[in-house]
Amino acid sequence: MKKSLLVLILPLLMSVYSCEIDNYEPPGETLKGRVVDAATGELVLTDQGSEGTRIRMRELSWEEAEPENLDFYCMKEGIFQNTKVFRGFYNVRADGAFIPLIRVNTSGDTLADESMNLQIEGLTEIEFRVQPFLKLEWVGQPTVEDGKVTATVKVSRAVSPEDFRAKIEPMGGYSDDFLNVTDVRLFVSQVPYVGYRDWDNRYSTIVEYAGDSFEALLGEPVTITTQGTIPPGRTVFIRAAARINYATENIRRHNYNEAIRVDIPR
């Protein structure tokens, strides 16, 4: 009889315990923001995914436990939004193809911390003002001939070599090679958010540069033509990207310009 009673009571207790756990309100607060060039106020265009701009949140409301990293990523336009955030006090940072907001030396001393501590409740909006490594601009309009797209882009520094060195060198392990532009890419895709995560390798072109060989091309028009033959009547989107020989959070990220739609004639 005692065994039978125990068998009946245990499931009931487990059910009550389960209900208590599930009674927490689901996360419903929203963090929304922008990443902009501190010098120009323009949005810092990026890729979508870990190769682009990452937003890292750490909840500071619970002192009993070490905060966990809650990561999500910017959209290609340089804006971000997370609509599933628990109400609380957070540290928020952005990492991307720009001068790190948090800079630490080899001894673990914090040299600079431009992250934000804030209460997230309802709709909370923030803006990170950063120093991108490079700026990319289209020059003229792309042309199409025999299923190939030719586009011209200008790549220039968005942060001066002097400012770059002043902020990066104190972190340790500095090299003048960090400033070298290593590659310029012309990404092609059938979707408008074309980038490192979504590109068609049949048509996209990568031009690599050794050492400081791109230095003379900074600020000058650089013309790139897609490879392969894009079928007649197809609509594609192109974006240019370039990066320097420096990694943020162990990833060498590209700076981008905006996507352009190109219709291939029939």
Give me the CATH number covering residue 106.
Answer: 2.60.40.1120
Which one-letter amino acid corresponds to residue 23? N
Is the domain of 79 the same as that of 99? yes
DSSP-based three-state secondary structure for 263:
strand
Q: Please indicate, yes or no, if residue 239 is contained in any of the structural domains.
A: yes
Is the domain of 108 the same as that of 142? no
Q: Please indicate, yes or no, if residue 10 is contained in any of the structural domains.
A: no
Strands (E), 25-147: 29-37, 54-59, 70-73, 79-85, 88-95, 102-104, 110-113, 116-120, 123-130, 134-138, 143-145
* 31-44 mean pLDDT: 97
Q: Please indicate, yes or no, if residue 8 is contained in any of the structural domains.
A: no
Q: Please indicate, yes or no, if residue 22 is contained in any of the structural domains.
A: no
Least confident of 24-33, 93-102, 252-261: 24-33
Q: Please indicate, yes or no, if residue 152 is contained in any of the structural domains.
A: yes
C-alpha dist (Å) from residue 60 to 25, 65, 178: 19, 9, 34
Is the domain of 179 the same as that of 110? no
* 197-224 mean pLDDT: 96
Is the domain of 175 the same as that of 72? no
Strands (E), 139-252: 143-145, 148-157, 181-189, 205-208, 221-225, 235-244
Is the domain of 100 the same as that of 151? no
In the prediction, which pLDDT does 64 show?
66
In the prediction, which pLDDT does 84 show?
94
- The domain total for the chain is 2
C-alpha dist (Å) from residue 166 to 58, 160, 172: 28, 10, 11
Q: Which helix (H) or strand (E) holds 114?
A: none
Q: Please indicate, yes or no, if residue 18 is contained in any of the structural domains.
A: no
In the prediction, which pLDDT does 49 show?
86
Indicate if the pLDDT at residue 19 is higher than 60: no
Q: Which helix (H) or strand (E) holds 260?
A: strand 260-263
Confidence of residue 24 (pLDDT cuts 50, 70, 90): low
Q: Please indicate, yes or no, if residue 1 is contained in any of the structural domains.
A: no
Q: Please indicate, yes or no, if residue 24 is contained in any of the structural domains.
A: no
Report pLDDT digits (tens) over 228-261: 999 999 999 999 999 999 999 999 999 999 999 9
Q: Are 75 and 44 in contact (CB under 8 A)?
A: no
Confidence of residue 18 (pLDDT cuts 50, 70, 90): very low
Confidence of residue 13 (pLDDT cuts 50, 70, 90): very low
* 205-219 mean pLDDT: 97
Which domain does 253 fall in, by range? Answer: 134-263
